[in-house]
Homo-oligomer: A and B are copies of this chain.
Amino acid sequence: MRFIVVVGSTRTAAIDGISAAGADPELMRHTPAADAEIVEYGRPISALKMPVSPTGCPTPAVVTRAVHELVRPDVLVVDAGLETPTVAPTTVVGTEPGADIRDSEPVPQANDVFETARELGRNLPDDELIIGESIPGGTTTALGVLAALGEPYGVSSSLPENPLELKRSVVSTALSESGLERSDAAGEPTLAVEKMGDPVLAAVSGLATGTVEAGGSVTLAGGTQMVAAGALLRHFGIQTPLELATTSFVATDETSDIESAARALDFDLTVTNPEFDRSTHPAMEGYSRGEAKEGVGMGGALLLAAREGIPMDEIRAQSERRYDSLVDNNGS
């Protein structure tokens, strides 16, 4: 088993009010690079500060890293196209961030990224991948891809109040700028990513495709972005079982309807509740307010911890320790 985090950027994240994956728009640009460093080193290095939401909710990378410290899985960060460089070790499958999906073709490199990631997935020595992601703005591009594929599911949000009307309006503009009607890319996953997606979706679907082709199994670790990745796989013609591992924060989000998506797309859904409401620690408070919810493979990390028999209170304690060391590191 290998735990993979695919990182990348889309300029869609710069649309005002669309994402909480950073304290402000400038810091948000660094979030995926910093998440990669937290996963690999336990703390951000190139970006210096731990990514937090505008109200201070820490990145789910803290929880994923805490689980990794307890379980020590093999880890691989895949760079699908970062806007700011990272000093985390990465395997690069794409070098360009995605443009704003309201451009006519925001991800012209989608097929190259998909094929490079597919080749990597075919060749990795592992019989199982757990694949998470970090890309601010990713739920909006996920909504765009779902629309292009003609899949009717909604998406979740890193914000407590999902700006779903804004996302729908962005997707609507993006479809028309791309010359697409809803469902026009059904059965054409590469087109859907080129016109409406982001580099991370291209890389996740490529990695998963290659792994399945080599006889391995895949757990998509995340929320509605991973629903979009899984939908891309189904539209690519992949019919093998796919696991989807997410958190209770996504599953109870009414705007996401992840359970019906999983049923319709034939994903085996695992929802894990980390019971953060049992803690009043600042690492977890934001989640109880409905912030962040998922990301950086958090749901997959919680699944992995459960498999290894690690009690949830140990994960919470380790997450608190990791957060505290990061806050000290932030100098705050």
Contact = CB atoms under 8 A, between A and B. Distances in A.
Interface of A: 41-43, 45, 72, 76-77, 87-91, 120, 123-125
Among A43, A120, A125, the one with the most B-chain Cβ atoms within 10 Å of its Cβ is A125
A158 to B, nearest CB: 26
Given A124-B41, A125-B43, A89 B87 contact: no
A72 B91 CA distance: 20
Nearest to A48: B123
Nearest to A90: B89
Contacts of A41: 124-125
A86 to B, nearest CB: 8
A35 to B, nearest CB: 15
A176 B124 CA distance: 47
A88 B87 contact: no
A327 B87 CA distance: 34
B42 A87 contact: no
A88 B77 CA distance: 10
19 contacts: A41-B124, A41-B125, A42-B125, A43-B125, A45-B120, A45-B123, A45-B124, A72-B72, A76-B89, A77-B89, A87-B91, A87-B120, A87-B123, A88-B91, A89-B89, A89-B90, A89-B91, A90-B90, A90-B91
Nearest to A116: B87
Contacts of A91: 87-90
